[in-house]
Amino acid sequence: MRRHAAFLLLIVVVCAGCAHATGPAKRPLQHGWAKVDTKRHAVAVSDEEVPTSPAATTPPVKPKPLQMLQRYLPRRRRSRAENNTEVVPCSDDGIRQRSNYEWVANIGAGSFGHVYMARDRRNQDRLVAIKRQDASKEPGRWVADNEIGVLKHLRGCACVVQMLTHIKVNHLVYLVLEFLSGGTLGRRIRVQGQICERDAKRYLARIVRAVDECHVRHIILNDIKPDNMAFDGEDNLKLIDFGLALYCPSRMMSMSRTTPRYASPEQFEMEDNQIKKRTFDGVAADTWAVGVTLVHMLTGHDLFPGRGEEEVRRNVVNSLQNQKCLERWQHLSQGAQQLTQRILQRDPGMRPSIRDIGLDGWLREGADPQQ
């Protein structure tokens, strides 16, 4: 019996020693990798027997909740960031939620807003131009609402840029327009230096048709110039900016908003050596601007020089014309010279109508019947 008891005691001591030897290897379980029986673990490993490192006694760091991490993330959804696309405009949550368009590139900026090129999400092959206008205060609000109204009246006109839709979000207004990829007429003149008569005829025919479409609807354009005309992908010229256009059945305008270089002389008068604005016939003023645009195309120079708007207006009133422009004008064909002289009459009552310009012999000579 004594031998059996001694043998059993030896087994208990050996087992206790094995438990003591294997205790430290199980220490990492305290860091949450698995659950342990705390009572058995205390028997196997005591704090007195096993020294602990600071890391072992430091409580585990809990991950930050999602709401704490949001400020470090971009505001766009991850899928948009990964695809390198933004909804126009990238800074506006409202339009991002409601729009079907993705930002592609900036096109330009004007007095009342910015223009972007965007892609239609519903048709990836379709590009549009989106004009963003700040309507938080006047005159931006008036310009935006006015342009929307005018473009609605001109829906279906082949020589006018078409508005597809418009979106209002808070104080911002977005006009979704057909995209004209050929650039403005003003840019083409600056690049080429001047436009040959053959091309100028084709462009003028489109301008005349567009202006006539406006006038028959009692719309005065009020700011005709090459920078407000652009070409589509097939090189068809269209009018593009109608922010200053006005519905005016009486034709009489009380204030000039035309860019001074294209303004007719009757819009101003000299009083005490100061330029004063006066009432004028808007239809006749549009006709004058078409004539100045034609001269600009054919010569590559502004008809009326000046280092500022005030000086330009004085030169318009006093008929002080650009000498370089006149030198090139003298080398034009007789038909081109005669047409510009007919249009640029100082007396608005002596100017031809837009339709009469369209019937001019020089313009119709070799003209495309589709124009």
CA–CA gap between residue 267 and residue 265 (Å, rounded): 5
Q: Output the pLDDT for position 70.
A: 32
User: Does the pLDDT of residue 188 top 80, yes or no?
Assistant: yes
Confidence of residue 356 (pLDDT cuts 50, 70, 90): very high
pTM higher than 0.75, yes or no?
A: no
Each residue's pLDDT tens digit, 21-53: 444 444 433 333 333 343 333 333 333 333 344
Asked if domains 84-178 and 185-364 share a fold, the reply is no
Task: Given CATH 3.30.365.10, say whether it is the number of domain 185-364.
Answer: no
- The percent of the chain in helix, strand and coil, each rounded to the nearest 5, is 45, 20, 35
Every domain of the chain and the residues it spans: 84-178, 185-364
CA–CA gap between residue 125 and residue 257 (Å, rounded): 38
Q: Output the pLDDT for position 367.
A: 62
Each residue's pLDDT tens digit, 221-237: 999 999 999 999 999 99
Q: Any idea which of 75-84, 242-251, 277-286 has the lowest mean pLDDT? A: 75-84
Annotated binding site for ATP: 131
- Return the closest-CA partner of residue 159 out of 105, 110, 216: 216
What would the mean pLDDT of 191-209 be, rounded to a whole number?
Answer: 97
What would the mean pLDDT of 154-166 be, rounded to a whole number?
Answer: 96
CA–CA gap between residue 150 and residue 244 (Å, rounded): 10
Q: Output the pLDDT for position 83.
A: 38
Task: Given CATH 3.30.70.20, say whether it is the number of domain 84-178.
Answer: no
CA–CA gap between residue 117 and residue 102 (Å, rounded): 9
Annotated binding site: 131
Q: Are 281 and 252 in contact (CB under 8 A)?
A: yes
Q: Output the pLDDT for position 277.
A: 87
- Cα–Cα distance list, 273 to 52, 188, 267 (Å): 96, 37, 16
Give a three-class secondary structure readout of 207-218. Answer: HHHHHHHHHCCC
Q: What is the CA radius of gyration of the chain?
A: 38
